[in-house]
Structure 1
């Protein structure tokens, strides 16, 4: 069993500095979030990219697809086109990093109403394209379950079930904090499709707190998933807006406490 953390927790540092921090605390696995400001600004600089990829390859990597400002179900064809291009780029990046996991976000309606058939069709075309592009690569494309929001695709159990049945080569990243009290249902129904895990605490209805602050039990459904035979990466996806201090030392302390808690159950 491998415990990772997302590079997003240390977003304010350059990627090479983040990797030094992870080496310092003994992490062997990470989820790489490419929209880190340092990486995003320099990703087409060949010298920079080669150096970063060399260091990233010292870890076991899961890649999170770019999603900020992107939406595969957008009514705007240019946004859809940009989202597809960024995902194809992320597939190539994951392949170059020898990653077997690329987590994607499903589409959403751009207003606070339920998605229409049009938004679903845009998402289905996007999935068809990226799954076709990735078919010859040793890579699982994993759709992440979303928080409960009326305008989102992919937060209801039945919605995810329908999408996974439509695309049998699509898999699931189970985010326990997004699933909240329904996590057990997700585990029972989709355990054979779950190839990656995000875990964090939930407090006052908000996700991505450190586990020790969680008001919802996310560890029991995780144990159930392990009982079903899950042996993939478990990624701590923490948000530094949920902690009281942002120094490197404090973030490391928070991270190590959560890693110790996870290690105690697996």
Structure 2
């Protein structure tokens, strides 16, 4: 049985991709690529238990571990609207149960803060988010590391505060470099060190993809404007090193990303 080239590296693979194009899973298995399974089909027909177990069994038979990305589309666990907030937490709770099927090494979740809320409203939203994540974590006390991912936040402060307040060994941060560079205006502000230094004590996982700063393009590594040499030099300071997920969105970008990761990232870290 082949082993993955990099045992702490994963590649994004949403379940809806596998459902619509079963050959995607074939490609991962045949090339010994560990997936980050996107549990993004909740409520859809593709989530039959037999189908999920068949995916689990193929990965187990191939000796492949995985991470999971919890659903995020239309979800807002920090919502000020109780109907939206409660539905979001219930959807995520169901996803927690489904994640158990795959025994993931990491689970990734978007807190989805609305950074532009005025302070009194933001504090309410923040409190709701803490309560929701605590409820999720309590539903599976010994869950694998839950990694809270930055998306549209203006600063790293809210996510750092969240992880510190939750204060659980199995809750940390997934630093998404592409989101920082685009959504959080990292390209414009040139503030990687500010974000990295704030997140560093809590980073358990990294999402790697590239863009030019104007939007979340999910380009192959090296095809955007991000300074990967410097980013990798800072990542090398982390001990232990986090796990990684590469996030290309098509086959060509996967090929380019994996080659770039091998030459410019893994060679300096492993």
Which residue of 2 is the match for residue 21 of structure 1?
Answer: 27
Which residue of 2 is the match for residue 84 of structure 1?
Answer: 89
Taking the aligned partners of 1:104 and 1:215, their CA distance within structure 2 comes to 26
Report how far residue 218 of structure 1 moved: 3.4
Which residue of 2 is the match for residue 179 of structure 1?
Answer: 180
Which stretches in structure 1 are left out of the alignment for 5+ residues? 149-154, 241-247
The alignment status of 1:41 with 2:42, answered yes or no, reads no
Taking the aligned partners of 1:255 and 1:235, their CA distance within structure 2 comes to 11
Report how far residue 252 of structure 1 moved: 4.6
Q: 1:1-266 alignment to 2 at 5 Å? A: 2-8=8-14, 11=17, 14=20, 16-27=22-33, 29-35=34-40, 40-43=44-47, 45-57=48-60, 58-109=63-114, 113-114=117-118, 116-135=122-141, 137-148=142-153, 155-169=154-168, 170-180=171-181, 181-207=190-216, 208-240=218-250, 248=251, 250-261=252-263, 262-266=265-269
Taking the aligned partners of 2:172 and 2:213, their CA distance within structure 1 comes to 30
| Aligned residues of 2:156 and 2:199 also touching (Cα < 8 A) | no
Higher relative contact order (CA 8 A, sep 6+): 1
Which residue of 2 is the match for residue 244 of structure 1?
Answer: none
Taking the aligned partners of 1:226 and 1:36, their CA distance within structure 2 comes to 35
What is the aligned residue count? 247
Taking the aligned partners of 2:157 and 2:254, their CA distance within structure 1 comes to 38
**SS of residue paired to 2:211:** strand
Report how far residue 209 of structure 1 moved: 1.6
TM-score by length of 2: 0.79
